[in-house]
């Protein structure tokens, strides 16, 4: 090995921090998480819930303020992944997807502006998630970190759940809950059967969308298994009302092997499923 090679290896080592930053952005809040990949330990976690839903310009302002206030976010990292959580998406089979006409798939369930930027994620080489990310926020992080990965949070959710499946014959219904919204994923025999998101105002609305979806898919509430995770617990009104109608309800099992620094541990790990799963 020559001197030049040794200097190159030294430079690579000096520029390696073994840290990965995961960021989740929605119009309702922000979450940040930094993993020390050498120790397999999460060394930073921050969650910010907005008092009301904001527009992308005001969300960017919140991000800028957070970076000004949080010293931990100023440390160098090697990898950055940004997750967008929104209802501006649609799923299509990969075999039917035409990248040149990506916007045409979205126009059936959301209003598209000429200035909107269209992105897509390929999921397990079978499904394409087409969505509208917030371009101003992408530009902000590109200026800060250079090239980085961004995805829709539903893509991470579906991939992770398909990875958990052992091709169970009975349908598995996964409900990932947020404040006043949730994603519903149905998997049967290792295949994605259904995926969508719902916004709700009352616990009755929460139950209605769940039971209506089950009815449309011919799922018997006394037969299918409902697995809950996200921002929901046994004390939640949503859980209590669902318990009256659905026989088999459980919570997601432990889903990661990371350790936490004490000050960086979420109150409920299941509420940060997507953020942690993206690390």
Report d(CA 107, CA 154) in Å as an integer: 19
d(C-alpha 179, C-alpha 171), whole Å: 26
Lowest pLDDT segment from 23-37, 52-66, 163-177, 195-209: 163-177
Provide the 10 A C-beta neighbour count for residue 42.
25
Joined tokens for residue 177: 């809950």
Report whether 21 contacts 81 (CB < 8 A).
yes
Check residue 13 and give its pLDDT.
43
Query: Which pLDDT belongs to residue 89?
Result: 94
pLDDT digits (tens, 9 = 90+) for 192-229: 999 999 999 999 999 999 999 999 999 999 999 999 99
Does pLDDT of 185 surpass 90?
yes
pLDDT computed for residue 14 by the predictor? 52
Kindly list the distances between the CA atom of residue 94 and the CA atoms of 91, 121, 138, 189, in Å, as whole numbers in the listed order.
9, 10, 25, 19
Q: Tell me which residue of 211, 151, 153 sits closest to 178, measured CA to CA.
A: 153
β strands within the chain, DSSP E: 19-25, 29-36, 41-49, 79-84, 89-93, 119-123, 127-131, 149-152, 172-178, 181-188, 191-199, 225-230, 248-251, 259-260
Task: Give the C-alpha separation, 164 to 185, whole Å.
Answer: 13
Contact 136, 57 (CB under 8 A): yes
Tell me the per-residue pLDDT of 11-49, one tens digit each, with 9 for 90 and over.
444 557 899 999 999 999 999 999 999 999 999 999 999
Pick the CATH number of 3-88+118-159+273-277 from 3.30.420.250, 3.30.465.10, 3.40.470.10, 3.40.50.300: 3.30.420.250
Which pLDDT band, with edges at 50, 70 and 90, does 236 fall under? very high
If phi > 0 it is left, if psi is from -120 to 50 it is alpha, else beta; for residue 255 that is alpha
Q: What is the pLDDT of residue 15?
A: 58
Cα separation, 233 vs 190, in Å, equals 27
Residue 3, pLDDT score: 43
- Residues 197 and 183: beta-carbon distance below 8 Å: yes
Alpha helices in the chain (DSSP H): 3-14, 56-69, 102-106, 135-145, 153-164, 203-216, 237-243, 273-277
Per-residue confidence (pLDDT) for residue 16, from 0 to 100: 78
Check for a shared fold between 3-88+118-159+273-277 and 166-251. yes
Reported CATH class of domain 166-251: alpha beta
Domain ranges of the chain: 3-88+118-159+273-277, 166-251
Confidence of residue 171 (pLDDT cuts 50, 70, 90): confident
Dist. CA 126–CA 147, nearest whole Å: 26
- What mean pLDDT, rounded, does the chain reach? 91
pLDDT digits (tens, 9 = 90+) for 109-137: 777 777 789 999 999 889 999 999 999 99
């Amino acid at each position: 090995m020559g001197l030049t090679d040794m200097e190159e290896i030294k430079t690579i080592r000096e520029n390696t921090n073994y840290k990965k930053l995961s960021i989740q952005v929605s119009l309702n809040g922000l979450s940040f998480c930094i993993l020390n990949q050498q120790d397999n330990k999460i060394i930073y976690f921050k969650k910010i819930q907005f008092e009301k839903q904001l527009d992308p310009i005001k969300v960017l302002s919140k991000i800028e303020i957070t970076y000004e206030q949080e010293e931990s976010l100023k440390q160098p990292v090697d990898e950055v992944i940004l997750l967008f959580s929104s209802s501006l998406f649609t799923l299509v089979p990969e075999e039917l997807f035409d990248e040149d006409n990506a916007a045409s798939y979205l126009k059936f369930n959301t209003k598209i502006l000429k200035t909107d930027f269209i992105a897509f994620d390929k999921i397990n080489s079978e499904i394409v998630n087409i969505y509208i990310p917030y371009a101003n926020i992408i530009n902000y992080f590109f200026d800060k970190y250079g090239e980085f990965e961004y995805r829709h949070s539903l893509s991470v959710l579906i991939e992770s759940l398909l990875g958990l499946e052992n091709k169970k014959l009975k349908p598995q219904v996964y409900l990932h809950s947020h404040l006043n919204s949730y994603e519903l994923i149905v998997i049967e025999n290792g295949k994605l059967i259904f995926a969508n998101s719902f916004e709700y105002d009352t616990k009755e609305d929460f139950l209605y969308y769940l039971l209506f979806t089950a009815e449309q898919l011919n799922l018997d509430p006394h037969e299918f298994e409902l697995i809950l995770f996200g921002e929901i617990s046994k004390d939640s009104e949503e859980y209590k009302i669902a318990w009256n109608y659905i026989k088999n309800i459980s919570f997601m099992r432990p889903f990661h092997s990371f350790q936490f620094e004490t000050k960086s541990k979420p109150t409920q790990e299941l509420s940060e499923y997507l953020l942690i799963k993206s690390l």
